[in-house]
């Protein structure tokens, strides 16, 4: 069963090893992330961004048992288990599969991950327009027509990372 864990980012490796010790080495962890390149003072800095902040997916067959969750409750690095994971197994599994299907060879999510909507505001994560808000006017196969500060322009889907604003 999949559970959603709120974890302390700095203690994630400790949390992972502790959970594996307590319930078994066949435990699977998944945390989707983006890789971005930022320009800072004429230098390019690569940065990893967690899609879900500090939330992590964890899968093990014994996580169905409430007693297993209670035993893991005070594991180092664990803040809490998100309630309701049992009720939403199909949705969690479909989300994890969607993320895994949209990963590149390095394990980072690619541009196909987001479902884009017309006339919706988005915010750039990388590139020369980082942290700028824009509206999608038209979606084509590999390009998107946008309105940015009153100017219509076209961007390439593959090289631009953005999220809903």
Q: What token pair was written down for 143?
A: 């390009």
- In the chain, how many domains are there? 2
pLDDT of residue 2: 93
* Total residues found in the chain within this entry: 165
Task: Verify that 133 and 104 share a domain, yes or no.
Answer: no
Closest CA to 109 of 118, 99, 117, 119: 99
Task: Verify that 97 and 64 share a domain, yes or no.
Answer: yes
Task: Verify that 31 and 103 share a domain, yes or no.
Answer: yes
For residue 119, give Cα distances in angstroms to 63, 136, 141: 42, 5, 17
Task: Verify that 79 and 92 share a domain, yes or no.
Answer: yes
Task: Verify that 143 and 100 share a domain, yes or no.
Answer: no
- Looking at the chain, the number of H-run helices and the number of E-run strands are 3, 11
Task: Verify that 70 and 143 share a domain, yes or no.
Answer: no
| Tens-place pLDDT, residues 19-46 | 999 888 899 999 998 877 776 777 877 8
The CATH number of the domain holding residue 119 is 2.30.30.30
Full residue range of the structural domain in which residue 131 is found: 114-164
Calpha distance 31→109 (Å, rounded): 11
Decide which of 86, 111, 136 is a domain's last residue: 111
Average pLDDT over the chain, rounded to an integer: 85
Task: Verify that 54 and 88 share a domain, yes or no.
Answer: yes
Asked whether the whole model's pTM tops 0.85, one would answer no
């Amino acid at each position: 069963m999949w559970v959603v864990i709120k974890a302390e980012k700095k203690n994630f490796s400790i949390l992972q090893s502790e959970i594996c010790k307590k319930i078994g080495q066949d435990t699977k962890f998944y945390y989707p992330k983006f890789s971005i390149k930022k320009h800072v003072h004429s230098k390019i800095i690569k940065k990893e961004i967690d899609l879900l902040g500090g939330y992590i997916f964890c899968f093990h067959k014994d996580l169905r048992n409430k007693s297993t969750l209670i035993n893991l409750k005070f594991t180092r690095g664990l803040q809490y288990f998100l309630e309701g994971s049992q009720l939403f197994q199909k949705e969690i599994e479909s989300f994890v599969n969607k993320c895994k299907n949209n990963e590149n060879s390095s394990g980072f999510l690619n541009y196909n991950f987001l479902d884009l909507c017309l006339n919706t505001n988005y915010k750039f994560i990388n590139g020369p327009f980082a942290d700028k808000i824009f509206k999608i006017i038209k979606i084509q196969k590999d390009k998107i027509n946008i309105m940015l500060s009153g100017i219509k322009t076209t961007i390439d889907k593959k090289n631009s990372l953005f999220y809903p604003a």
